[in-house]
A = this chain, B = another copy of it.
Amino acid sequence: MTQALLPEGFRDRLPPFADAAARLEAAVLGAAASHGYERVDPALAEFEEGLAGRLKAARTQDAVRFVDPVSQKTLAVRPDITAQIGRIAATRMGHHPRPVRLSYAGPVLKLRASELSPERERRQIGCELIGLDTVAAAREIVGLAVEALGAAGVRGLSIDFTLPDLVETLAAGPLPVAPEQVATLTERLDAKDAGAVAAIAPAFLPLIEAAGPFDAAHRRLAGFEAQGVLASRLSGLRDVVDGLAGQVGLTLDPTERHGFEYQSWLGFSIFAAGARSEIGRGGSYTIVHEDGQEEAAIGFSLYADAIVAAGLAPVERRRLFVPIGSDPAAAARLRAEGWVTVAALEAGDTPEAQLCTHLLADGEVRAL
């Protein structure tokens, strides 16, 4: 009869993984709330044109679209929440004093999967700081990501920093490159393709070497850059990681651009021990207001599924079976003490069938 399987790239999260994801989310958003980040919950779908124009260089190409029978316009189910936060910051919260600190969590949908991320539905959790992309702002955001993941029990963190607009900045100044070649150069540098880089702009070759453990890579990048164009970026980077060394692993890959299409001076990917792919990313970006004014912002997003799949959120299952005829007040008292009670509803029900670890017998809790 009906189709039981889900479409490729979609899945149901079952117990105990859905519980683990919910706990992870609560811990992350709780840490964010304690730093003044207030929850927003943007609409799941909106006008495609409203979503597309808000972040400089953001795109909606892979969004699920449908025609709205009410407005006859094309609506898109959000493929990303950050662009929605940008829209809200620029419109309904446009007159709110800056910086604005916002947090969010919800599903995002893509029409097509990519090779790197086969999921078409992901749960995105994040924080955005709007109105600033200074070093102080970057320190707060990176530090909050680390603190929030720590609060959620995620261990073995490492952060890989990048400088998304580095190549454009150099190509427009000290190391001129023909405008039509900048995109190819950026892409070849990202791919660490020394041959192609040498053919386009050999002066950029040392950037390929300036990747790896943070301190060494930072030193090589500083050595490469004699003219001082990167001085503020280099000292900014240094200040952002200050205090993180020892707590988390730190690397630098200054020309990594893939996945940082709309970021400006700073980008970062977050990894955790046991997770096969990145568990989050963030960086600075630019919001475009109604009047064309641009505003700096910085934030991070985490992917709950990648974290839970790596088994990083600890799970405990302690269930107390309450036989028929037990005193309801006793069960209520035990719930108030933190027990999960599972009431028998039929004579034949058993603790085993209800996956219970404990039994209420003669008013006492017995381990099974």
Measured CB to CB, the residues of A under 8 A from B are: 1-16, 18-19, 21-22, 26, 29, 33-36, 38-47, 49-50, 52-54, 64-66, 68-71, 73, 75, 77, 84, 87-88, 90-93, 97-99, 101-102, 104, 106-107, 109, 111-113, 121, 123, 132, 134, 136-137, 140, 288, 290, 292, 319, 335, 339-343, 345-346, 349, 352-355
* A2-B354 in contact (CB<8A): no
A10 in contact with B45 given A26-B26, A107-B106, A134-B345 (CB within 8 Å): yes
A291: min CB distance to chain B, Å: 8
Is the CB–CB distance between B292 and A1 below 8 Å? yes
A7 and B121 in contact, given A35-B342, A346-B136 (Cβ under 8 angstroms):
no
Contact A69 B111 (CB under 8 A): yes
List residues of chain B with CB within 8 A of the CB of A112.
69-70
Complex CA distance for A121 and B11, rounded to whole angstroms:
21
Check A47 against B6 for contact (C-beta < 8 Å): yes
State whether B35 touches A341 (Cβ < 8 A): yes
Question: Which residue of B49, B69, B109, B113 contacts A44 across the interface (Cβ within 8 Å)?
Answer: B109
State whether A92 touches B12 (Cβ < 8 A). yes
Known: A35-B341, A101-B342, A107-B107. 8 other contacts (CB 8 A): A1-B53, A3-B49, A3-B50, A7-B68, A9-B70, A12-B84, A15-B40, A18-B38
B35 touches A13 (CB 8 A): no
Query: Once bound together, how far apart are the Cα atoms of A173 and B39, in whole Å?
Result: 55
Distance in angstroms from A53 CB to nearest chain B CB is 4
When all copies of this chain in the complex are counted, the total is 2
Q: Is the CB of B41 within 8 A of A88?
A: no
**Pair A44/B7 contact, Cβ less than 8 Å:** no
Bound CA span A71–B34, Å: 44
- Contact of B10 with A43 in the complex, beta carbons under 8 Å: yes
What is the chain B residue whose CB lies nearest that of A123? B41
Closest 7 CB pairs of A and B: A2-B53, A36-B342, A15-B38, A97-B353, A18-B39, A13-B41, A10-B43
Asked whether, in the complex, the Cβ of A12 is within 8 Å of the Cβ of B353, the reply is no
A319 to B33, CA, bound (A): 10
A36-B354, A46-B10, A136-B345 are contacts. A41–B18 as well, Cβ < 8 Å? yes
> CB within 8 A of A290: which of B1, B41, B65, B91?
B1
Once the chains are docked, how many angstroms separate the CA of A65 from the CA of B102?
31
Chain B residues with CB under 8 Å of A343's CB are 35-36, 140
16 A-B pairs, CB-CB below 8 angstroms? A2-B52, A7-B46, A10-B46, A12-B41, A13-B41, A13-B42, A14-B92, A16-B38, A18-B39, A35-B340, A36-B341, A66-B111, A70-B112, A98-B353, A136-B345, A136-B346
